[in-house]
Amino acid sequence: MPTSENASAADTSANVFTVRKFNLWYGDHHALHNINMDIKEHSITALIGPSGCGKSTFIRNLNRMNDLIPGVKLEGSIKYNNEELVNSDIDVSKLRKEVGMVFQKPNPFPMSVYDNIAYGPRTHGVRNHAKLDALVSGSLKAAAIYEEVKDRMNSSALGLSGGQQQRLCIARALAVQPHVLLMDEPTSALDPISTGKIEELAMQLKEKYTIVIVTHNMQQALRISDYTAFFLLGDLIEFGPTEKIFSNPEDKRTEDYITGRFG
Amino acid sequence: MFQAEKKFINTEKIAYWVFLVLGVMNVGFVLMICVYLLLAGSPAIVKIGPLDFLFGTQWASTAAQPKFGILPFILTSVYGTIGAIIIGLPLGFFSAVYLAKMCPKKVRMVVEPVVDLLAGIPSVVYGFIGMLVLVPAIREIFGLPDGSGLLAAIIVLAIMILPSIIKVSVTAIEAVPEEYTLGSLALGANKVETIFRVVVPAARSGISAAVVLGVGRAIGEAMAVMMVAGNAANMPYSIFESVRFLTTAVASEMSYSSGLQREALFSIALVLFAFIMIINAILNMLLKKGIKR
């Protein structure tokens, strides 16, 4: 994996995640092979590749959501700051508070807009009303949806449009004050205008957060990401600055994929 | 080719009429029961007087000066049902949460058929076991001359409504989309918080339907209750009182009744029917609301 070392050498800012020789099996199926990757602070890292290449599987290890799937076996190391995530006995609730996640399909809870956002902080013990109010409006503003929902805080979040729901889910993730935001194809269920809003939002959010985004859409990766990782059949084929991956890929397979020859 | 199409239309038409007739028959039965109960049940209410009938506290149908007050039966049915829900709902609800969300697959494979079996046991068997086990136990524990009464009936009813509460609640909980669970876990909530703060609230209309179903079953049960409730027409002033339910009041006198007494029994059936209709209406409302949401 020479490119990953190139990437880390080129940039001196701190690593949020350090992935080394990471392997994953679903039962007998070896789904991820020997992944090495450094994810930099305050950047957007895009994971691209055809369906079934392992990019969604990979991202779910960064907040230990794979714990929920029976029969998963892991090897190697993923360090979040200095904490080992692979097969370690960490407090996953704390980890997930710091490493938030937004899913492919917008999944607001069947509650009011306010309660959706307040859910996370309440879970982590915030009871003070003034503090909750501030967190809710702050998160909604940060997710660029405050203006659209400020008059309907008490109505059901399920009444919002798909794009609004997804921004609400981003606001909900931000409300627990994470450091990292994982986005698993956050725009694949949305129309182009909503997609544009989410992309714009992601670029604003990287000032304060570190973002890892799985996307099917190469244009999206090119538009918003600083680093791109190309996965194919469970291998990390190439990883580096987005510009380089898209203009001058080192691997023939990366070039074939980004020029649309397969996938 | 055209021939085949014609034949297809014919079978479709036949099926249409068969289903229509069957459907109409169903509605017809319900209507017939309604009409018959109204016709058979109202004369006695008029003769006795609606207030004396519904709010009279004495039932002495075979006395020289007969009294036909069914308030004891109504209150017994209401208390009995509420009591059964108070015991059965938490038991059933937590069992459902456990079965749907927490228990290992192997445990579930054993417990679910057992719950189904519980639903299939004839009510006379519940009554029999109540008589042999529960009634003596209550007598011993509370030092009473007789253990049969409201408490025994409540406990038997609570066990009898468990299967419907469990099954409907499990279905409701499992219908909650997995995305809600994932969303909550991803925010750092643990499994128990996720279940009680996201999944259960999302399933609440289904769970309320389970409760109403339990109420319907409890209020309509006759046989098991008759065997453990004591069957004296007392006002249910205490949980140890020997009591009659609306159902058991009809069942215990029907075989030897005549004249106004018999008519009054039909009226009791009419009151019971009204209760059950109301409960069903509530159930339908809840289910519809659940679907809409």
At A11, is the pLDDT very low, low, confident or very high (cuts 50, 70, 90)?
low
Residues B201 and B106 both lie in one domain: yes
Tens-digit pLDDT profile for residues A65-92: 988 888 899 999 999 998 999 988 999 9
Q: Quick one: pLDDT at residue A195?
A: 92
Residue B280 lies in a domain: yes
Q: Quick one: pLDDT at residue B293?
A: 45
Q: Find the CB nearest B187 among A105, A108, A173.
A: A173
Amino acid, single-letter form, for residue B63: A
Residue A263 lies in a domain: no
Cα separation, A92 vs A99, in Å, equals 10
Q: In total, how many domains does chain A have?
A: 1
Read off the tokens for A140: 């909604």
User: At A228, phi and psi to the nearest 5?
Assistant: -130, 135
Read off the tokens for A94: 């704390």
Other C-beta atoms lying within 10 Å of the C-beta of residue B2: 6
Tens-digit pLDDT profile for residues B216-234: 899 999 999 999 999 899 9
pLDDT at A182 over 70: yes
Residues B11 and B136 both lie in one domain: no
Cα separation, B121 vs A1, in Å, equals 66
Q: Which of B105, B173, B180, B187 is the mutation pick for testing A, counting most A CBs within 10 A?
A: B187
Residues B162 and B23 both lie in one domain: no
What does the pLDDT average to over B235-258?
91
Tens-digit pLDDT profile for residues B48-107: 999 999 999 999 888 888 889 999 999 999 999 999 999 999 999 999 999 999 999 999
Q: How far is CA B112 from CA A200, B94, B96, B98, B103, in A?
A: 50, 14, 10, 11, 11
pLDDT at B292 over 50: no
Q: Which residues of A touch B189 (CB under 8 A)?
A: 93, 119-120, 123
Q: Quick one: pLDDT at residue B248?
A: 93
> 3-class SS at A54?
coil
User: At A182, phi and psi to the nearest 5?
Assistant: -95, 130
Residue B61 lies in a domain: no
- A13 in Cβ contact with A207 (< 8 Å): no
Read off the tokens for A256: 């074939």
**Using CB atoms within 10 A of its CB, is residue A225 exposed (0-12), middle (13-18) or buried (19+)?**
buried
Residue B42 lies in a domain: yes
At B3, is the pLDDT very low, low, confident or very high (cuts 50, 70, 90)?
low
Read off the tokens for A74: 């892991």
> 3-class SS at A86?
coil
Domain that holds residue B36: 2-55
Pick A250 or B284 by higher pLDDT. A250
Pick A47 or B10 by higher pLDDT. A47
Other C-beta atoms lying within 10 Å of the C-beta of residue A135: 22
What does the pLDDT average to over B161-184?
94
Residue A246 lies in a domain: yes
Residues B119 and B159 both lie in one domain: yes
Is the Cβ pair B188, A107 closer than 8 Å? Answer: no
| B151: nearest Cα among B223, B71, B225, B216 | B225
CATH number of domain containing B215: 1.10.3720.10
What does the pLDDT average to over A178-189?
93
* Angstroms from B188 CA to nearest CA on chain A: 4
Neighbouring residues of B30: CB distance < 8 A, sequence distance ≥ 6 = none
- A169 in Cβ contact with A108 (< 8 Å): yes
Residue A89 lies in a domain: yes
Q: Which residues of A touch B182 (CB under 8 A)?
A: 65, 68, 103, 107
Other C-beta atoms lying within 10 Å of the C-beta of residue B90: 12
- A24 in Cβ contact with A72 (< 8 Å): yes
Residues B25 and B154 both lie in one domain: no
Q: Quick one: pLDDT at residue A10?
A: 47
CATH number of domain containing A178: 3.40.50.300
Cα separation, A101 vs A107, in Å, equals 11
Is the Cβ pair A123, B182 closer than 8 Å? Answer: no
Percentage of chain A exceeding pLDDT 90: 79
Q: How many residues does chain B have?
A: 293
Residue B154 lies in a domain: yes
Residue B60 lies in a domain: no
pLDDT at A139 over 50: yes
What does the pLDDT average to over A228-245?
94
Cα separation, A184 vs B215, in Å, equals 45
Domain that holds residue A70: 2-258
Q: Quick one: pLDDT at residue A70?
A: 86
Is the Cβ pair A97, B188 closer than 8 Å? Answer: yes
Residues B201 and B271 both lie in one domain: yes
Mean pLDDT of chain B: 90
Residues B42 and B89 both lie in one domain: no
Q: Which residues of A touch B180 (CB under 8 A)?
A: 107, 109-110
Q: How far is CA A229 from CA A85, A224, A241, B96, in A?
A: 20, 13, 9, 44
At A4, is the pLDDT very low, low, confident or very high (cuts 50, 70, 90)?
very low
Is the Cβ pair A97, B179 closer than 8 Å? Answer: no
At A263, is the pLDDT very low, low, confident or very high (cuts 50, 70, 90)?
low
pLDDT at A49 over 60: yes
pLDDT at B149 over 90: yes
* Side-chain half-sphere CA neighbours of B46 within 13 A: 6
Per DSSP, which regions of A175-223 are E strands? 180-184, 210-214
Residues B257 and B204 both lie in one domain: yes
What does the pLDDT average to over A197-202?
92
Residue B230 lies in a domain: yes
Tens-digit pLDDT profile for residues B13-40: 899 999 999 999 999 999 999 999 999 9
User: At A251, phi and psi to the nearest 5?
Assistant: -100, 140
Task: Name the residue of chain B whose CA is nearest to A172's CA.
Answer: B187
Q: Which residues of A touch B205 (CB under 8 A)?
A: none
Radius of gyration of chain A (CA): 18
Q: Quick one: pLDDT at residue B7?
A: 58
Residues B283 and B143 both lie in one domain: yes
Residues B244 and B281 both lie in one domain: yes
What is the separation of C-alpha B154 from the centre of its chain, rounded to a whole number of angstroms? 12
Q: Quick one: pLDDT at residue A7?
A: 45
Residues B46 and B93 both lie in one domain: no
Helix or strand run (H / E) with residue A21? strand A15-26
Q: What is the ipTM of this complex?
A: 0.88
Residue B64 lies in a domain: no
Q: Quick one: pLDDT at residue A8?
A: 44
CA dihedral of A125, A127, A133, A135, whole degrees rounded to 10 = -20
> 3-class SS at B71?
helix
pTM of structure: 0.81
Cα separation, B51 vs B173, in Å, equals 44
What does the pLDDT average to over B252-259?
88
Amino acid, single-letter form, for residue A65: M
Cα separation, B213 vs B16, in Å, equals 32
Residue B6 lies in a domain: yes
* Angstroms from B104 CA to nearest CA on chain A: 12
Pick A82 or A114 by higher pLDDT. A114
Q: Quick one: pLDDT at residue A1?
A: 40
As a 3-state breakdown, chain A gives helix, strand, coil percent values, each rounded to 5, of: 40, 25, 35
Is the Cβ pair B186, A176 closer than 8 Å? Answer: no
Q: Which residues of B touch A158 (CB under 8 A)?
A: 293
Cα separation, B89 vs B77, in Å, equals 17
Buried-exposed string B156-187: b where 16+ CB fall within 10 A, e elsewhere: bbbbbbbbbbbbbbbbbbeebeebbbbbbbbb
Greatest Cα pair distance in chain B? 83
- B229 in Cβ contact with B242 (< 8 Å): yes
Q: In total, how many domains does chain B have?
A: 2
What does the pLDDT average to over B183-196?
94
- B189 in Cβ contact with B161 (< 8 Å): no
Q: Which residues of B touch A93 (CB under 8 A)?
A: 188-190
**Using CB atoms within 10 A of its CB, is residue B286 exposed (0-12), middle (13-18) or buried (19+)?**
buried
Q: Quick one: pLDDT at residue B235?
A: 92
Cα separation, A241 vs B91, in Å, equals 58
Where do we find the tokens 């994953």? A24
